[in-house]
Amino acid sequence: MVKNMKLISEIASKAISEGRTYLLEHESKKILMEYGIHTTRAFLARKADEAVEIAREIGYPVVMKVLSPMIIHKSDVGGVKLNLENDEAVRAAYKEIESKFKDKGMIGVSVQKMAKPGIELIVGVTMDETFGHVLMFGLGGVFVEVFKDVSFRAIPISEDDAEEMIREIKGYSLLKGYRNYSADLQAIKDILLRVSKIVSENPIIKEMDLNPVFVYPEGYVVVDARIILDPKFCKINEGNSRNIDLKGLFYPKSVAVIGASNTQGKLGWNVFRNLLTHGFSGKLYPVNPNVEEVQGVRAYKSIKDVPEKVDVAIVLVPAKQTPKIVEECCQAGVKYIIVESAGFSELGEEGKTLEMQMKELIKRYGCRLVGPNCAGLINTHNGFVGSLGLLGELNKGNIGLIVQAGVYAAGFLWGLRNIMDFGIIATIGNKLDINETDMLEAIGADENIEVIGMYLEDVKGGRRFIDVARNITKKKPIIVLKTGRTEEGKKAASTHTASLAGNDQIYSSIFKQAGIIRARDNEHLFALLKAFSKQPLPKNDGVLVITYAGSLGVASADAISLNGLRLAKFSEEIKEEIRRFMPSFVASFNPIDLTFDQTPEQVRKIIETALKCDDVGSILLIVQTEKFGSYVDTLKSIDYKGIPIFVVVFGKEFIIEDVIKLERSGIPVYTTPEQAVEVIATMYYYKNNIMLAEEVLKQTTSKSVEKKVLAF
């Protein structure tokens, strides 16, 4: 490793001293070969005679490429000559290249063996402003230029990451083997892991393109290579990583509200009222210099006047006063400060200055700060409801929600609380200090939380976000709604990789790498959170569909197939039992069409009978809108034996009271079969990933134990 890094350091230093931020092809290939990556090699020739001599030594046919610090994309400007088969062809090619590029910084040509054609691949690296070095893989040639059939992962990658990158491109079928084409999949995985290692050990590398890479039924060869350097390399911001336990933020024993008010309609009224009415289990200290008490509780003129140290201070004063208040909190020994005031960096330079003042203060005193410009925190398990919006009754729940937008805690929750039970909601606003990764790590460790949702506009946690999320998703699902899907990709186009690495595609790949489920929109986010929080994971991929209309059964079957699931199958014995509860003129056993005569008792008997079959992994029940209310009590009374059930009813907004009753019992209700099936599939694949991770861990542990035994 030290030898490899020394070589790269020498090559990079030479290039930078010559005013180059990219390596010439022969330099790039020398680095690749040092790390065991197979290339066609590249030899520098400064004269035609040298080119001929090299060609003779490596054997014809050969390729010649112009070498110039002024030319990066050689093929685009006619600087590449292919399939040169003799001395005369090499001399002629050299002269042609020389005449064309002698005034464009040409220092010579690279001469290399003409590679045997194979399946073209591209392997690349780009620098993402959030996640650092990102590895790209895809089919080369027209596939990458036109179809952009590529996959991404943050570096360093694991063997599992490499396999997933290969499998998820559309061209995977070609690589597996199609007619006369096939590729050495192990060799491809090997090159991905080696490129990851190169960049991990040499972060001065900013971008890399290996394009094309020819892969064969056995082995591969890198035909062209380009490496871009970053002379000003500095580590990508990993986000705040101070190892301070945030449990006290969510479970404080005392809370001060600075700016608490007696005037209804003011935010200071709302926050303090929420804490009072939701039974906060700790002590409350309203701070307001103008009154003796707030909403019946003794008030204090300053946080410094509070007779004991306060765990959490909620700040609701004008932005310009906030730095002074934050300093007073720090001096008073407050551990956590939540700034719900707005008017900071979201409004311009003056607000940024105020933020920097607060940042310096918390750094000096060692406090932690949430916000500014957030809507507060909510923890239903101890009544710590510090939301800006007035809220009615909240049940204790198992959903954790981390959001940048305050509307989730101050607006959406007003309605969502009727059908979903949240345990913790954390709004992070401008993320001056505590960011989404800090919150994720803390909430992921909370025993009361079983599923985590996130609304993100960006990520500050970088690589740490990936590591934290990856650890949590092994035990709890994380579902993320990331906005900004249409954000324009990076402008830098010095490599194909950089030009292909659109911001949104990188986020999708990183989420997949971390085991995160990505939601399309708010409706999808809450559809998934509702199911994961209320129902067990599907037992297997077999789905039982019960419907009152044949067309809806067909739609369900289509959705099941398109989502990679299947219709559950019954034994003849169970079919005979089920037949007793079906109309005599219905022959299909899955989907089971009970026609418009479908009744709650009929559905109950069929479900209880079907659950005797091990092939039923989940149940999809479609109910008539006008009869829905009559099903609620029956569906609530059935023992589903650990099998999840999902109900579909069209126009549920017109029967919302009955829908809420069923949802409160733990059975999620959806508007279409397609929506419900997508949720079932997501839960099933999450379960599969968990089982796969556990199996890999068992194998790894087993091998580790075996090695220890052998060593002993």
Q: Of 287, 281, 367, 274, which is closest to residue 327 (Cα–Cα)? A: 367
pLDDT tens string 141-181: 777 777 788 999 999 999 999 999 999 999 999 899 887 77
Instruction: Write out the H or E segment, with its range, that includes residue 562.
Output: helix 550-562
pLDDT tens string 178-232: 877 789 999 999 999 999 999 999 999 999 999 999 999 999 999 999 999 998 8
pLDDT at 22: 87
Alpha carbon distance 112, 62 (integer Å): 6
Backbone angles phi, psi at 232, to 5 degrees: -100, 30
Output the DSSP codes for 245-281. Answer: --HHHHS-SEEEEET--SSTTSHHHHHHHHHHHTT-S
In this structure, the answer to whether residues 420 and 479 fall within a common structural domain is yes
pLDDT tens string 284-301: 999 999 999 999 999 999
- pLDDT range class, residue 586, cuts 50, 70, 90: confident
Q: Of 383, 443, 475, which is closest to residue 247 (Cα–Cα)? A: 443
Q: Given a cut of 60, is residue 45 above it in pLDDT?
A: yes
In this structure, what CATH number is given to the domain that contains residue 554?
3.40.50.261
In this structure, the answer to whether residues 490 and 459 fall within a common structural domain is yes
Do you know the residue count of the chain?
712
What's the rounded mean pLDDT across residues 489-505? 51
Question: Which residues are CB-neighbours of 416 under 8 A, at least 6 positions away?
Answer: 422, 526
In this structure, the answer to whether residues 82 and 138 fall within a common structural domain is no
Alpha carbon distance 79, 54 (integer Å): 18
Structure tokens at 536: 């067990």
What's the rounded mean pLDDT across residues 453-468? 90
Report the largest interatomic distance among the alpha carbons of the chain, rounded to a whole angstrom.
100
Alpha carbon distance 299, 479 (integer Å): 41
CB atoms within 10 A of CB 424: 25
Alpha carbon distance 598, 611 (integer Å): 19
Cis peptide before 307 (omega within 30 of 0): no
Q: Given a cut of 90, is residue 242 above it in pLDDT?
A: no
- pLDDT range class, residue 1, cuts 50, 70, 90: low
Residue 673 located in a structural domain: yes
Q: Given a cut of 80, is residue 334 above it in pLDDT?
A: yes
pLDDT tens string 507-559: 999 999 999 999 999 999 999 999 999 999 999 999 999 999 999 999 999 99
Alpha carbon distance 541, 322 (integer Å): 54
Alpha carbon distance 82, 331 (integer Å): 73
- pLDDT range class, residue 703, cuts 50, 70, 90: very low
In this structure, the answer to whether residues 494 and 551 fall within a common structural domain is no
Q: Is 455 exposed, middle or buried (0-12, 13-18, 19+ CB in 10 A)?
A: buried
Domain boundary among 84, 113, 142: 113
Distance between the two ends of the chain, CA-based, in angstroms?
A: 29
Q: Given a cut of 70, is residue 241 above it in pLDDT?
A: no
In this structure, what CATH number is given to the domain that contains residue 68?
3.30.1490.20
Q: Is 431 exposed, middle or buried (0-12, 13-18, 19+ CB in 10 A)?
A: buried
For residue 474, what is the DSSP state? T
Amino acid letter at 674?
A: E
At 70 the three-state DSSP class reads: coil
Amino acid letter at 204?
A: I
Alpha carbon distance 126, 492 (integer Å): 10
Residue 539 located in a structural domain: yes
Amino acid letter at 401?
A: L
At 513 the three-state DSSP class reads: helix
In this structure, what CATH number is given to the domain that contains residue 306?
3.40.50.720
- pLDDT range class, residue 462, cuts 50, 70, 90: confident
Cis peptide before 286 (omega within 30 of 0): no
Q: Please give the torsion angle defined by the CA atoms of residues 75, 80, 82 and 85, in that order, rounded to the nearest 10 degrees.
A: 180
In this structure, the answer to whether residues 172 and 218 fall within a common structural domain is yes
pLDDT at 486: 55
pLDDT at 712: 22
Contacts 24+ apart (CB under 8 A), 78-87: 82/114, 83/114, 84/55, 84/60, 84/114, 85/60, 85/61, 86/60, 87/52, 87/55, 87/56
In this structure, what CATH number is given to the domain that contains residue 196?
3.30.470.20
In this structure, the answer to whether residues 87 and 159 fall within a common structural domain is no
Q: Name the residue with higher pLDDT: 684 or 72.
A: 684
At 478 the three-state DSSP class reads: strand
Q: Given a cut of 50, is residue 387 above it in pLDDT?
A: yes
Alpha carbon distance 282, 523 (integer Å): 35
For residue 65, what is the DSSP state? E
Question: Measured on CA atoms in the order 558, 560, 561, 564, is the torsion positive or negative?
Answer: positive
Residue 323 located in a structural domain: yes
pLDDT at 488: 45
Q: Given a cut of 50, is residue 710 above it in pLDDT?
A: no
pLDDT at 115: 93
What mean pLDDT, rounded, does the chain reach? 90
CA distances from 186 to 79, 143, 183, 189, 190 (A): 33, 21, 9, 5, 6
Cis peptide before 673 (omega within 30 of 0): no
For residue 537, what is the DSSP state? P
In sequence order, the β-bridge partners of residue 669 are: 647
pLDDT at 194: 98
Residue 234 located in a structural domain: no
- pLDDT range class, residue 705, cuts 50, 70, 90: very low
pLDDT at 693: 64
Cis peptide before 156 (omega within 30 of 0): yes
Amino acid letter at 51?
A: A
7 close to 30: Cβ distance less than 8 angstroms:
yes
Backbone angles phi, psi at 120, to 5 degrees: -85, 130
| From 232-241, 452-461, 514-523, 698-707, the region with the lowest mean pLDDT | 698-707
Alpha carbon distance 558, 552 (integer Å): 10
- pLDDT range class, residue 2, cuts 50, 70, 90: low
Amino acid letter at 131?
A: F
Alpha carbon distance 370, 569 (integer Å): 52
Cis peptide before 61 (omega within 30 of 0): yes
Alpha carbon distance 365, 127 (integer Å): 35
581 close to 605: Cβ distance less than 8 angstroms:
yes
In this structure, the answer to whether residues 203 and 128 fall within a common structural domain is yes
Domain coverage including residue 655: 535-681
pLDDT tens string 612-626: 999 999 999 999 999
Alpha carbon distance 451, 453 (integer Å): 7
Alpha carbon distance 581, 587 (integer Å): 12
In this structure, the answer to whether residues 125 and 103 fall within a common structural domain is no
Residue 237 located in a structural domain: no
Structure tokens at 375: 């809507």
In this structure, the answer to whether residues 516 and 552 fall within a common structural domain is no
Half-sphere exposure of 283 (CA within 13 A, CB side): 11
In this structure, the answer to whether residues 223 and 291 fall within a common structural domain is no
88 close to 94: Cβ distance less than 8 angstroms:
no
Residue 687 located in a structural domain: no
Residue 699 located in a structural domain: no
Question: Which residues are CB-neighbours of 40 under 8 A, at least 6 positions away?
Answer: 29, 63, 112, 113, 114, 115, 221, 222, 223
Alpha carbon distance 511, 485 (integer Å): 14
pLDDT at 502: 54
Q: Given a cut of 50, is residue 499 above it in pLDDT?
A: no
Domain boundary among 203, 229, 255: 229
Question: Which residues are CB-neighbours of 284 under 8 A, at least 6 positions away?
Answer: 254, 255, 256, 257, 272, 275, 276, 297
Question: Which residues are CB-neighbours of 305 under 8 A, at least 6 positions away?
Answer: 287
| From 44-48, 363-367, 457-461, 477-481, the region with the lowest mean pLDDT | 457-461
In this structure, the answer to whether residues 306 and 424 fall within a common structural domain is yes
Residue 694 located in a structural domain: no
Domain boundary among 485, 513, 531: 531
| From 36-40, 228-232, 419-423, the region with the lowest mean pLDDT | 228-232
pLDDT at 505: 86
Amino acid letter at 105?
A: G
Q: Given a cut of 80, is residue 592 above it in pLDDT?
A: yes
428 close to 456: Cβ distance less than 8 angstroms:
no
In this structure, the answer to whether residues 380 and 492 fall within a common structural domain is yes
What's the rounded mean pLDDT across residues 414-432? 93
| Confidence (pTM) | 0.89
Count of the separate structural domains present in the chain: 4
pLDDT at 4: 76
